[in-house]
Structure 1
Amino acid sequence: MDKLHTKATVLIVPGLRDHVAEHWQTHLAASLARVRSVPPLTEDKLNCRARVEAIAQALAQIDGPVILVAHSAGVLMTVHWAQQHQHQIKGALLVTPPDLYASWPAQYPSQETLQAGGWYPLPRTRLPFRSLVAVSSNDPLASADAVRAMATGWGSELVELGAVGHLNPASGFGPWPQGLELVRRLDAMDVIPGKQ
């Protein structure tokens, strides 16, 4: 299979479940020529600061512009990282961010656990790079209105996906060809003056 050769290096930022073989991020990584992934944590897996530091360490090993591709809690990690660090980020694809203030299904961490891990408050300031926020109309972890509000705060362009659940294997994804197209779109964009 021919791999997409992007000008920027793509950095995959997984959610709390880290790297899942059948996840769309894993399929996306396999279809890219210039790609890295934030390695999974071996301890403090629910510690937001540790997750942010893992992103910073991964970026420190990449020369040149980067496109971030984050899913679920990986979006929250990315937004926390962007408030604290700088790097040459060409753009970010932020897919189905969860709403920290919603009631999540029982198999997910509780609000108390996330509070103890330093996830609150979620930054709502404008991101210093281009970003696309992909929103599902039936995500069990966030209402579409909550995700739209996040995108507005971050200055992101919204990409409406329709009813795709949380866009994870439990929702039937798997390969997600649109993700590759959105990465291609970010890679083709010029850097906005005044942004990283």
Structure 2
Amino acid sequence: MAFEQTNAAQGDPLLLIVPGLGNSGQGHWQTRWEETLPLCRRVDLGLWDDPHRNTWVNKINLAVDRADRPVVLVAHSLGCHAVAWWAEYERLSGGDALGKVIGALLVAPPDVEDAPIDRRLTRFAPVVQGELPFRSVLVASRDDPYMPFGTARTLAKTWGASFADAGATGHINARSGLGDWTFGRLLLNRLLPRPLSLDDGAAHYGAGQRRFIDPALRRLGA
């Protein structure tokens, strides 16, 4: 049965943070967002240094299933592949949770097949093939050591995601020194029913709803 929009679910979405290897510590934009964005919660995937694909997938599924409102997934690094595998498992099983997800921001997915920088990444191989069943934006850096820029662009096409160029920002992590990462919040806004403020510090939603989907989203990175 598809997810029904109850009164609680008709409001602003729940933002679920999905980190990668090692979790996202202090100074990481995901941690800043969790601290400053409304209705933002981290998925406790566990096994942060010894990732297990099915465990991570199950943790994502539990978090989405418990949501009483629409969900936007905000994934970084290996968390992007965890999201893709969760969507694939849900599609094959006909699960209800997929209907809750209205979008996903997929930031700096690593190579898990050809030349992974860390052997633990291969546990999420092969790459999920086919378009994700929800709108998504894949963000890549031009000097990410975990995945070549061209490969990231190809992955965006595979997953049916819009592609966004983050410039030369490394792995788009704490070492990148992005703070609240305004560019990322701008991209996130294109997945939300109404935009969040872009000022530093605690964010708030603007007044009024807008229709999905902003046509400019499809042109990002073109």
**Normalising TM by the smaller chain, what interval?**
0.7 to 0.9
Cα distance in structure 2, aligned partners of 1:171 and 1:183: 19
Judge conservation of contact 2:27–2:177 (CA < 8 Å) in 1: no
How far does residue 104 in structure 1 lie from its aligned partner after superposition? Answer: 4.4
Show the counterpart of 2:146: 141
> Are 2:103 and 1:91 equivalent residues in the alignment?
yes
CA distance in 2, matches of 1:50, 1:40: 7
Q: Which of 14, 24, 28 is equivalent to 2:29?
A: 24
Higher relative contact order by CA 8 Å / sep ≥ 6: 1 or 2? 1
CA RMSD, 1 decimal: 2.1
Measure the CA separation in 1 of the matches of 2:48 and 2:27.
23
TM-score norm. by structure 2 comes to 0.75
- 1:159 equivalent to 2:164? Answer yes
Structure ID, larger Rg: 2
Matched-pair contact (CA < 8 Å) for 1:104–1:140: no
Distance 1:182 1:95 in 2: 11
Unaligned runs of 5+ in 1: 1-5
Structure 2 unaligned spans of 5+ = 1-10, 91-97, 194-210, 215-222
TM-score calculated relative to the size of structure 1 = 0.84
State the Cα distance separating 1:103 from its structure 2 match. 3.3
With over 3 angstroms needed to count, the CA separation of the structure-2 counterparts of 1:164 and 1:19, relative to structure 1, is closer
- Residue of structure 2 equivalent to 1:190: 212
Deviation by residue 1:136-170 (Cα, 9 ceiling, x = unmatched): 11100000111011100111100111101100112
Tell me by how many angstroms 1:18 deviates. Answer: 1.3
- Aligned CA distance change for structure 1 residues 191 and 41 (closer, same or farther; 3 Å): same
Distance 1:167 1:125, change over 3 A: same
Aligned to 2:77: 72
Q: Contact 1:124–1:150 (CA<8 Å) still a contact in 2?
A: no
Tell me, yes or no, if the aligned pair for 2:108 and 2:141 is still in contact at 8 Å: yes
Q: CA distance change for structure 1 residues 140 and 76 in 2, over 3 Å: closer, same or farther?
A: same
Aligned residues: 180
